[in-house]
Chains A and B, each alone.
Chain A
Amino acid sequence: MTLEILGITVLWTFLFGYIIIGSIDYGAGFFNAYSIITRKDHILSNVIQRYLSPVWEVTNVFFVFFFVGIVGFFPDTAYYFGTIFLIPGSIALILLAIRGSYYAFETYGSKGHKGYAFMYGLSGLLIPASLSIVLTISEGGFVFIEDGNPVLDYWALFTSPLSWSIVILSIVAVLYISAVFLTWYANKTGDVKATNLMRRYALIWALPLIITASGIVYELKFHNPEHYERIIDLWWMFGLSFILWIAAVWFIWKRKKYGTAVWLMFGQFALAFYGFGISHYPYLLYPYLTIYEGFTNQAMAISLVIVFILGFALLIPSLYLLFKLFLFDKNYLKGRQKKE
């Protein structure tokens, strides 16, 4: 494996991590706000707050890790994506800032403010939408070079069915991932009502997910035929992903093995996400930038990999401790505080 492949694999994995835990977080915020509006908050709020509180900051780090890491491994992306991503990036940042700080303000300051909860829920859907634009841009066709600098064609971007499909997919995926996870989590806490509500949401969003995902592959056929061909070459990954989706929905439908359903869901998204990533190879920004042109120097690449391994030796046990204390602790899950 070359260092370029290793670098992009690491980053892609972190992006995947952010997408999964970010989705749980964003979706949870949305369901929380929605439950307040529909007066079902007494059912959901407890479960959601108990999950979100200890992990919101960690979620944010996955995002930071990705954009610092990509500049490190592929410094040219800072130039290309930095220049063209100013507006969507700034909007996403402002939403992230409002969301993160309001969460703390609300949780530790004034509990139960409806306006906060609403903002929190709404921003959670808009952030994935504004960030997913980067996936659209990387498909090519929206960026042209003027006076030697890349410029984003906003008109082409906003009128493209592809960009809107990706936005919709990101929102639907957030809701689906979050609902499946929270079904399992609510079930763990022994909260039957919350489990049933989340289960319903999971089933509602399952079908739109598959429809939008397939729609994107179809649109790529016209937008970027080269990418489409590579996706077809990897048909087995997407097929397997589809089978996992059926299995997950089946378990949720039958009200059993929610834990297995969560793992199947992770597998489904992992296959689709890596399949998408591999089929995009070797481009970072089609057709201007490949992972080979944009790669950093040898010395930096090696030191980043070393730091990465050392960092993980530190992080894995810490994350394990976090999960052990909160996600898998029986007393914490059920809302009891027991002295140890």
Chain B
Amino acid sequence: MLFEDPVIASRFLTLLTLSFHIIYATIGVGVPLMIMIAQWIGIRKNDEHYILMARRWARGFVVTVAVGVVTGTVIGLQLSLLWPNFMELAGQIIALPLFMEVFAFFFEAIFLGIYLYTWDRFEDQRKHFFLLIPVALGAGMSAFFITVVNSFMNAPQGFDIINGQLVNANPIAAMLNPAMPTKVSHVLATAYMTVAFMLAAIAAYHLIKGSNHVYHKKALHLTMKVGLIFAIAAAIIGDFSGKFLAEYQPEKLAAAEWHFETEEGAPLLMYGVLDENNEVKGAIKIPFALSILAFSAPTAEVIGLNEFPVEETPPLIVHYYFDLMITIGVFMIVLSLVYWIGIKRGWAFVKATWYRWLIVLGGPLSFLAIEAGWWLAEVGRQPWILRGIMTVEEAATSSDYVGFMSILFILLYIILGIGTVVVLRRMFKNNPVEKELKASQGGDNA
């Protein structure tokens, strides 16, 4: 199949590249902010631990940035190679945010280079902090613009098609599409949340492994707090996203919720499985919750999947992605909230090893939630590449070799994935915090 049908092969390769890229992209968006916060606290409190934290995070960050940059370049060019018809149309109408994304990336790349190679250059820590602002800003802006492109694909506007010709193009209107506010804010909030929990997992792991250094405790407190704030933000924005879907992409919401019949006071389904007759088994039914999620009113009418032609309905598998994303999100909010209250109130169990293991687990789980969320968003708009306008079949390349190229890219991602893990492990194993603190006790940056 993969080698015969360019459409399936192109979908597979795009899925693969994006699923791999978003791990690094999420880190790329979130870590600069965390470095900036640590550097800021370090300056405010005059605490060398936080300054060191900023540096150690930055050092690991470089390796992930490298892979993020190259996989980002890959997906950038693959868009034209695998979806030439889509890009021809998109170039007419959505090239503006794509172009702006490159500028944001450019800006970030320049200042990241400067920041990384001037570590020991300035006596004044504030100069290092100022260099981080454009890095964090550039990272956030490039996530912003690329998500604008994606939201356009979900809610295209800003042009008319008359007799197959695109006319009345309005690039600004295309950018300000209805999907944009919720998409962009959800992407940013979840990236910051995920990175905070990833760094929390690292700190918790060190504490479990016996390093009882105050550095790790500070790192854990900081990251759990930041993680909690963004996790709550992500949940609130997630609710807005549900309302957006109900209005503009009802078929995606209906597929995610296995909501077949249009009804008032619709219930929300959690978990469960679907048998071959499309009967839902073993799901937890929360009455009225879907109507509340969709329209903030318990009796509101929610459109069911049966209202749509079969060839335009998304695959029903997206329900599992939805469950996975929501469950992890809620779990992380509870985990970090209990931790935070526990620290304030002096509850002993939040410092217990089993609790710390849960925090360690939270890092990979957050990444899983990111993946699940993107699969929900992307698979959920099948069969469209531009909802209501162009299907993926019309957009894919006519070239026959995508299947073979996919094999090469699989190999590439395996090599890059293993390489990242090996290099990062070696970097930090050989150079624990204790050693680095002792070395800096020579007094060059107190």
| Residue A210 is within 8 A (CB to CB) of chain B in the complex | no
**Contact partners of B398 in chain A: CB under 8 A:** 83, 147, 149
Nearest residue, chain A, Cβ from B87 = A78
Report A208-226 CB contacts with B as 1/0, cut-off 8 Å: 0000000000000000000
**Contact partners of B399 in chain A: CB under 8 A:** 83-84, 86-87
**Contact partners of B91 in chain A: CB under 8 A:** 71-72, 74-75, 78, 296
| Residue A303 is within 8 A (CB to CB) of chain B in the complex | yes
Nearest residue, chain B, Cβ from A100 = B70
| Residue A267 is within 8 A (CB to CB) of chain B in the complex | no
Interface segment among A25-33, A60-68, A192-200, A255-263: the answer is: A60-68
B173 CB to nearest A CB, Å: 10
Quick one: which of A78, A90, A104 contacts B408, CB cutoff 8 A? A90
Rounded to whole angstroms, the CA-CA distance of A103 and B83 in the bound complex is: 30
| Residue A287 is within 8 A (CB to CB) of chain B in the complex | no
Q: Does B62 contact A104, Cβ atoms closer than 8 Å?
A: yes
| Residue B405 is within 8 A (CB to CB) of chain A in the complex | yes
Q: Does B87 contact A86, Cβ atoms closer than 8 Å?
A: no
Interface residues of A in 254-310 (CB under 8 A from B): 296-297, 299-300, 303-304, 307-308
Interface segment among B94-102, B221-229, B272-280: the answer is: B94-102
| Residue B76 is within 8 A (CB to CB) of chain A in the complex | yes
| CB within 8 Å for A86 and B117 given contacts A78-B80, A93-B73, A299-B171 | no
Report A58-99 CB contacts with B as 1/0, cut-off 8 Å: 101101110111011111101111111111011101101110
**Contact partners of B120 in chain A: CB under 8 A:** 337, 339
Quick one: which of A73, A101, A314 contacts B67, CB cutoff 8 A? A101
Rounded to whole angstroms, the CA-CA distance of A32 and B419 in the bound complex is: 22
Interface residues of B in 142-191 (CB under 8 A from A): 166, 169-172
Q: Does B95 contact A300, Cβ atoms closer than 8 Å?
A: yes
Main secondary structure of the interface of B (DSSP, over half): helix
| Residue B389 is within 8 A (CB to CB) of chain A in the complex | no
Cβ contacts A to B, 12 pairs, < 8 Å:
A60-B69, A61-B109, A68-B95, A71-B90, A83-B398, A85-B81, A94-B409, A97-B71, A98-B415, A149-B398, A296-B92, A304-B96
B395 CB to nearest A CB, Å: 11
**Contact partners of B408 in chain A: CB under 8 A:** 90-91, 94
**Contact partners of A314 in chain B: CB under 8 A:** 103, 107
| CB within 8 Å for A303 and B423 given contacts A68-B76, A72-B99, A82-B87 | no
**Contact partners of A81 in chain B: CB under 8 A:** 80
Q: Does A78 contact B107, Cβ atoms closer than 8 Å?
A: no
Q: Does A82 contact B84, Cβ atoms closer than 8 Å?
A: yes
| Residue B26 is within 8 A (CB to CB) of chain A in the complex | no
| Residue B59 is within 8 A (CB to CB) of chain A in the complex | yes
Q: Does A86 contact B402, Cβ atoms closer than 8 Å?
A: yes
Q: Does B107 contact A315, Cβ atoms closer than 8 Å?
A: yes
Rounded to whole angstroms, the CA-CA distance of A98 and B67 in the bound complex is: 9
Q: Does B397 contact A82, Cβ atoms closer than 8 Å?
A: yes
Rounded to whole angstroms, the CA-CA distance of A74 and B92 in the bound complex is: 8
Q: Does A104 contact B84, Cβ atoms closer than 8 Å?
A: no
Interface residues of A in 99-137 (CB under 8 A from B): 100-105, 108-110
**Contact partners of B402 in chain A: CB under 8 A:** 86
Rounded to whole angstroms, the CA-CA distance of A202 and B232 in the bound complex is: 60
Quick one: which of A61, A109, A297, A319 contacts B426, CB cutoff 8 A? A109
Rounded to whole angstroms, the CA-CA distance of A85 and B77 in the bound complex is: 10
| Residue A57 is within 8 A (CB to CB) of chain B in the complex | yes
Report A156-192 CB contacts with B as 1/0, cut-off 8 Å: 0000000000000000000000000000000000000
- Please tell me the size bucket of the interface on A: 35 or more
Nearest residue, chain A, Cβ from B419 = A105
Interface segment among A36-44, A233-241, A245-253, A321-329: the answer is: A321-329
Interface residue total, chain B, C-beta cutoff 8 A: 76
Residues of B within 8 A of A (CB): 59, 62-63, 65-67, 69-74, 76-78, 80-85, 87-93, 95-96, 98-103, 105-107, 109-114, 116-118, 120-123, 134, 166, 169-172, 397-399, 401-402, 405, 408-409, 412, 415-416, 419-420, 422-424, 426-427
Q: Does B99 contact A69, Cβ atoms closer than 8 Å?
A: yes
Q: Does A108 contact B427, Cβ atoms closer than 8 Å?
A: yes
Q: Does A96 contact B166, Cβ atoms closer than 8 Å?
A: no
Known: A72-B98, A94-B408, A339-B120. 10 other contacts (CB 8 A): A65-B106, A79-B88, A84-B399, A87-B399, A100-B66, A104-B423, A311-B100, A337-B121, A338-B121, A339-B122
Nearest residue, chain A, Cβ from B399 = A86
Q: Report, nearest first, the 9 A-B pairs whose CB atoms are least far apart.
A: A75-B91, A104-B66, A72-B95, A109-B423, A82-B84, A78-B87, A82-B80, A311-B103, A97-B70
Residues of A within 8 A of B (CB): 53-55, 57-58, 60-61, 63-65, 67-69, 71-76, 78-87, 89-91, 93-94, 96-98, 100-105, 108-110, 147, 149, 296-297, 299-300, 303-304, 307-308, 311, 314-315, 318-319, 321-322, 325-326, 332, 337-340
Main secondary structure of the interface of A (DSSP, over half): helix
**Contact partners of B424 in chain A: CB under 8 A:** 109
Rounded to whole angstroms, the CA-CA distance of A315 and B303 in the bound complex is: 48
Q: Does B409 contact A105, Cβ atoms closer than 8 Å?
A: no
Q: Does A64 contact B76, Cβ atoms closer than 8 Å?
A: yes
Rounded to whole angstroms, the CA-CA distance of A57 and B115 in the bound complex is: 13
Q: Could you say which of B66, B123, B422 has the most chain A C-beta atoms within 10 Å of its C-beta?
A: B66
A70 CB to nearest B CB, Å: 9
Q: Does A94 contact B171, Cβ atoms closer than 8 Å?
A: no
B431 CB to nearest A CB, Å: 11
Rounded to whole angstroms, the CA-CA distance of A103 and B65 in the bound complex is: 12
**Contact partners of A84 in chain B: CB under 8 A:** 399
Q: Does A78 contact B77, Cβ atoms closer than 8 Å?
A: no
Rounded to whole angstroms, the CA-CA distance of A64 and B103 in the bound complex is: 10
| CB within 8 Å for A296 and B95 given contacts A96-B73, A315-B103 | yes
B234 CB to nearest A CB, Å: 29
B92 CB to nearest A CB, Å: 5
Rounded to whole angstroms, the CA-CA distance of A314 and B108 in the bound complex is: 11
Q: Does B123 contact A71, Cβ atoms closer than 8 Å?
A: no
**Contact partners of A101 in chain B: CB under 8 A:** 66-67, 70, 416, 419-420
Rounded to whole angstroms, the CA-CA distance of A61 and B72 in the bound complex is: 11
**Contact partners of A89 in chain B: CB under 8 A:** 77, 81
**Contact partners of B103 in chain A: CB under 8 A:** 307, 311, 314-315
Rounded to whole angstroms, the CA-CA distance of A311 and B141 in the bound complex is: 13
Q: Does B98 contact A299, Cβ atoms closer than 8 Å?
A: no
**Contact partners of B88 in chain A: CB under 8 A:** 75-76, 78-79
Nearest residue, chain B, Cβ from A93 = B74
Quick one: which of B62, B92, B106 contacts A300, CB cutoff 8 A? B92
Nearest residue, chain B, Cβ from A321 = B114
